[in-house]
Structure 1
Amino acid sequence: MSTQLTGTILRGREFEPVEGRVVIDDGHITAVEETTTDSTDIILPAFVNAHTHIGDSIAKEAGGGLSLDELVAPPDGLKHRLLRAASDEELTHAMARSLRFMQRSGTGAFLEFREGGTAGVQALERALADDDLDLTAVVFGRESIEAMEISDGFGASGARDSDFEAERKATRNADKPFAIHAGERDPDDIDPAFDLDPELLVHMVHAQPDHFERLEETETPVAVCPRSNLVTGVGLPPIRQLLDHTTVALGTDNVMLNSPSMFREMEFACKFADVTARETLRMATVAGADAVGLNCGLIAEDRNARLLVLDGDSDNLVGARDPVRAVVRRAGVSDVKRVVLT
């Protein structure tokens, strides 16, 4: 059965605003047609949150004033102690609540670093089984090779915590991606992270000129999480320089520290960094999809129909002259009219 969405469509990689309709058949976009319409809706790709720690949902706003290591460093940072203390039921319920918020606020897919080994991966699977959820999850298991084997890849904490050679070898053998935190606290763990030949680097706050060159040579994508970096006091990522050398995707990081709202992340990133609204929207959508091979993040023919419809006549958005800037710098959860995840 065919479905049609009408309004101002942010089409393709440049998010060109066109008046018309998106035609959806069997879960895919089959046509993007320019035509006159009475609709004031704004139609864009659903967000791809490129870095999350959903398990932190058990302890929102815990640990105010603690350092990065005190908050999240394995094995005994505050988040890890709280995760160990939580029951499976508590953890699953808390994650499901955050996932429902993410979906309601326009996220269609997310890349999750899943603590807790195999049990942690299984808890997320139970949370995603909620009947109200249609999110696409790319799960990077942590803490054991077994966790990687039942998930989509391995997510390493950072090269200062271990050499991760065994995990890197195991992901290659399994033909799965290896992702790793790097350059969050300082630059010292960036080169060791590069040496593991990862498919995705996370943070890169303290990237130096030689690291930018290495990013360009290896074409390694980076997920940045500027609000999290601000809260933990490690600095802000050099988004402009990163974009000049590689693909950059946007993530919200720890739910303990920040709401998993891509609207908030986009607004913050666009207003503090030397990046355009289009670059920011690209980071929040197709960049994350490209990093892990998802067929979403764009409004184009043959893409999966994972779309977000905003009310362009809301009190917040009515009168916007530039729909891309309005989406990135002004829109919020209250403007969401419909999330299409087929």
Structure 2
Amino acid sequence: MTADSAPDAGASGTLEGLVLRGREFEPVEGRVVFEDGEITAIEEASVESDRIVLPAFVNAHTHIGDSIAKEAGEGLTLEELVAPPDGLKHRLLREATREELVAAMRRTFAYMERAGTAAHVEFREGGVEGVDAIERAGANSAVESVVLGREEVAAMERADGFGASGANDADFDRERNATRREGKLFGIHAGEVDASDVHPALDLDPDFLVHMVHAESLHLDRVEDKGVPVVVCPRSNAALNVGLPDIDALHDRTTLALGTDNAMVNAPSMFRELEWAAKLSTLSAREVLAMATANGADIADLNCGVVEAGRDAKLLALDGDSDNLDGVHDVVRGVVRRATVDDVDRVVL
């Protein structure tokens, strides 16, 4: 981005262009007015701007501590790569100094900010020290971190909740009960490698599940009955060779959000994740865009992800006259299937 398109934090002002308004992303020519970090109005008007204005993204599942090990472990299985406690990523995390870990995460925060991400839900390894590290890394970033501690209840108490690895890895009853007492989020990986951990994960009554690549009909019935949202990460699933989620089937049963998962194997680009989700499903462009914005915000209980009055002014403006987006007939479809970080004109966080 150019200097005048650097992310704005806590700003007041306006963004003009074609505004994707509300949960339906209705294209409206005009401007978004925001004051002290809150959207106060969407004004319909004729404007001289090619911008496309939409809510900034909510990345509903990340492991950005893995930024220390980008593209490590080619050819390893999922278990060899990320399974606790001795998967490659966990060994590399232990070997890294605190300063190395924080510096790597700072670079990822900078990328997410530039790529229009307003917030992310982080499954944070390393116990209390891991929570402290991400707070240090994100201290000067406008990207909001919803941090789910791991490995110990104390990490949950220090953070916004607990992020469990999977029901086959350990008994998480204690952590689940602790999050209930604290009124905090409890998320858990399920159905990533196979279906064996899905029922035990659902037995914990989680606030959300991650992956569900191997969800079966009975699992989907339970997900629907319990109203448990699911975060899908198709690029990560493909990279780790575990299969792909049935996005259509999951969407028929529950709220779906998008995450980029491990920074080890994926750049945390919601543009890329949007394209994958759109091309792996029959969902409309609006349904897919909601997965990257409003739905993730709902899961994390954030007041963003929608361009409407009263919401936090976390906004993304794309250059609708870029070489990539010029000539797009369906603007929402163009944003979802073709836009990239190169099209970002301005970010307001």
- Taking structure 1 as the reference length, the TM-score comes to 0.98
How many Å apart are 1:212 and its aligned residue? 1.1
When structure 1 is superposed on structure 2, of 260-269 and 271-280 the one drifting more is 271-280
How many Å apart are 1:169 and its aligned residue? 1.1
How many Å apart are 1:68 and its aligned residue? 0.5
Listed as ranges, the matches of 1:125-140 within 5 Å are 125-130=135-140, 133-140=141-148
The 3-state SS of whatever aligns with 1:328 is helix
> Are the aligned partners of 2:122 and 2:146 in contact in 1 as well (CA < 8 Å)?
yes
Where does residue 194 of structure 2 map in the other structure?
Answer: 186
Superposed CA deviations along residues 232-262 of structure 1, whole A, max 9, x for unmatched, are 1110001111111110000000000011000
Report the Cα distance in structure 2 between the residues aligned to 1:275 and 1:184, rounded to whole angstroms.
22
Report the Cα distance in structure 2 between the residues aligned to 1:233 and 1:274, rounded to whole angstroms.
22
Query: Residue type of the partner of 1:30?
Result: T
Superposed CA deviations along residues 3-28 of structure 1, whole A, max 9, x for unmatched, are 11110001111111110110101211
- The gaps in structure 1 that reach 5 residues or longer are none
The 3-state SS of whatever aligns with 1:313 is coil
Where does residue 63 of structure 2 map in the other structure?
Answer: 53
How many Å apart are 1:220 and its aligned residue? 0.7
When structure 1 is superposed on structure 2, of 171-180 and 117-126 the one drifting more is 171-180
How many Å apart are 1:2 and its aligned residue? 4.5
The 3-state SS of whatever aligns with 2:196 is helix
Where does residue 257 of structure 1 map in the other structure?
Answer: 265
Report the Cα distance in structure 1 between the residues aligned to 2:46 and 2:325, rounded to whole angstroms.
20
1:158 aligned residue (166, 178, 181): 166
> Are the aligned partners of 2:38 and 2:311 in contact in 1 as well (CA < 8 Å)?
yes
Query: Residue type of the partner of 2:71?
Result: E
- The gaps in structure 2 that reach 5 residues or longer are 1-10
How many Å apart are 1:175 and its aligned residue? 1.2
Report the Cα distance in structure 2 between the residues aligned to 1:151 and 1:253, rounded to whole angstroms.
19
What is the root-mean-square deviation of aligned Cα atoms in Å? Answer: 0.8
1:204 correspondence with 2:181: no
The 3-state SS of whatever aligns with 2:119 is strand
Q: Percent identity?
A: 63
Query: Residue type of the partner of 1:203?
Result: H
The 3-state SS of whatever aligns with 1:310 is strand
1:95 aligned residue (84, 92, 105): 105
Report the Cα distance in structure 1 between the residues aligned to 2:215 and 2:331, rounded to whole angstroms.
33
How many Å apart are 1:216 and its aligned residue? 1.1
Find runs of 4+ consecutive structure 1 residues off by over 3 angstroms: none
Query: Residue type of the partner of 2:77?
Result: S
Report the Cα distance in structure 1 between the residues aligned to 2:188 and 2:232, rounded to whole angstroms.
12
> Are the aligned partners of 2:189 and 2:210 in contact in 1 as well (CA < 8 Å)?
yes
Query: Residue type of the partner of 1:234?
Result: V
Report the Cα distance in structure 1 between the residues aligned to 2:207 and 2:225, rounded to whole angstroms.
13
Report the Cα distance in structure 2 between the residues aligned to 1:98 and 1:329, rounded to whole angstroms.
23
